[in-house]
Structure 1
Amino acid sequence: MFNPFSFRFEKVSTKKVSEFIREQLEEAIILKELMSEEQLPSERDLAEMFDVSRITVREALSALEDKGLIEKRVGAKGGSFVLPLTANSHKRTREEIKRDWAHMLKVFEYRTIIEPEAAFLAAERITAGELELLYDYMKQSIEPDCTREWFRALDVKFHLTIAKASGNPYCERAVRQIRTKINPALDLMPYNEQIRSVNYEVHMEILEALKSRDSMNSRETMKRHIEFSADAIYARLVSESEEKERNEV
């Protein structure tokens, strides 16, 4: 006999419209689709874009300002401007990362499933234009004047482009969600020539596998890259914090 209560329903969300708007803008900022010092559309324009009232937009912008993602400026050239995430990374402390590490591990576990498979598909389906984009991102990443913020943006663009090249919109959306979760931790990582060199080498390895249409190598190289990234974050933000606590006891 069918039991209507043998499965769990998802509870009804009471999320306000302003929170939906805030989430979309926050994702664009975290994924660096809206860059540092870029001015957001006016409240009136955003209200038209989202088909909501200006009061609702104002609530969303205030929430973003409270999180240190944007800054409201007054004057003739005033408005809401995106703040540099890497420069404000101190607001996302190591203690927060450590506290949420169990959840972060689940995200990385999910990532090791999704991104390697997206790379596998991309090796079969990537276009010449997408390959050209990836090579351009790599070239920019090793330019002497590449800032920390732009370096992080290029890293995101590299991974999102591969996800899009998979030709599967579900893979693409999953990678966007994953990057939204892990980017705050990645933004806390150091930035120097060694980091740039290691990043360039592994990304080029992935890129060459994609160019060769080598699906298996694309998958395996992406998987190693993701596992290394998770270990690096743990070593930098969690393990060091635990070691410091032991030394202070």
Structure 2
Amino acid sequence: MENLFHRVKQNRIYQDVAEQIQTLILEGHVVAGEKLPSARELCDMFQTSNGILQEALKILEQKSLVEIRPGIKGGTYVKNASAELMAENLAMLIRSHTISLQHLAEFREGIEGAVAALAASRSMAADNQTLVKLIDEAARCREEGLSGWNRFVQVDEKIHTEIARIAGNPLYNFVLHSIYDNIHRYYDKFLPAGEVEMEENFQDLQLIVQSIAAGESDKARQFAIHHVRRFSSYLEQKKRQNPEL
């Protein structure tokens, strides 16, 4: 491992150290569960101080790329750099509310449009049956009126994440799961709960699922984008009505 590192640049030392170790992890030179060399050895390899090294390791720990274990048998161990861990950064952005409603809408339009189109081109009979069952479940929630609103929202999420699974791209899948696992903070503040909104959302979901089942990628994309735009307009409208939120 010693030959894989080079002397760090003096103008951004701890970032350089972190980037070098990160590159080795992401390129598979060190694997999950493997222990990095001791702090003294790493300082010698990078020709830098222990303080600089610790700053670099903190960055990597925050990115969930390494785990720092205390004690005699402790040390710095590489974690599994999966797409799930990378999606945590997106989750943190959503939770912090540093992403505006407009930015979230733009991002979701592109992602969910692409995912729906892929799902339409890749769905199998069993996938379509699953989506139809979820639509039927959403219909039952709709029949309950406002008392079924919370369950309807949950089924809505299930439909979107199922479409992401059918699309067959793990990056899209992880990203959308991250969004839907954390978007409730926006729901709670800005999403109006009404029978009209429920009916409109239900009709959108039906059209998306029907397009996927028919293998119509272009229609599925457009219906998904329209659905996100409608949803986003609800949020923006309530935000304008309640600027203190």
Q: Pairwise CA RMSD of aligned residues? A: 3.2
Q: Percent identity?
A: 19
Residue 111 (structure 1) aligns with? 108
Shift in Å at residue 232 of structure 1?
1.1
Which whole-Å deviations, capped at 9, do the CAs of 1:52-105 have from their partners, x for residues lacking one?
A: xxxxxxxxxxxxxxxxxxxxxxxxxxxxxxxxxxxxxxxxxxxxx9x9374443
Q: Which structure has more helix as a fraction of its residues?
A: 2
Are 2:209 and 1:207 equivalent residues in the alignment?
A: yes
Residue 78 (structure 2) aligns with? none
Paired AA for residue 185 in structure 1: Y
Residue 64 (structure 1) aligns with? none
The verdict on how the C-alpha distance between 1:14 and 1:168 changes in structure 2, with shifts beyond 3 A counting, is closer
Q: Extract unaligned runs of 5+ from structure 1.
A: 21-96
On the 8 A contact 1:126/1:165 being kept in 2, the answer is: yes
**TM-score of the two chains, using structure 2 as the length reference:** 0.57
Residue 134 (structure 1) aligns with? 131
2:199 to 186, 197, 200: 197
Shift in Å at residue 111 of structure 1?
1.4
**TM-score of the two chains, using structure 1 as the length reference:** 0.56
Q: Extract unaligned runs of 5+ from structure 2.
A: 1-7, 23-55, 68-93
Give the distance between the partners of 1:171 and 1:134, measured in 2 at CA.
Answer: 18
Shift in Å at residue 108 of structure 1?
2.4
On the 8 A contact 1:152/1:187 being kept in 2, the answer is: no
Q: Which of structures 1 and 2 has the bigger CA Rg?
A: 2
1:233 to 227, 232, 235: 235
Name the count of aligned residue pairs: 162
Shift in Å at residue 197 of structure 1?
1.1
Paired AA for residue 227 in structure 2: H
Paired AA for residue 116 in structure 2: A
Shift in Å at residue 138 of structure 1?
1.5
Runs of 4+ deviating beyond 6 Å: 5-8
Shift in Å at residue 13 of structure 1?
4.9
Which whole-Å deviations, capped at 9, do the CAs of 1:201-223 have from their partners, x for residues lacking one?
A: 11111111111111111111111
Residue 185 (structure 2) aligns with? 184
Shift in Å at residue 140 of structure 1?
1.6
Residue 171 (structure 2) aligns with? 170
Paired AA for residue 200 in structure 2: V
Shift in Å at residue 150 of structure 1?
1.3
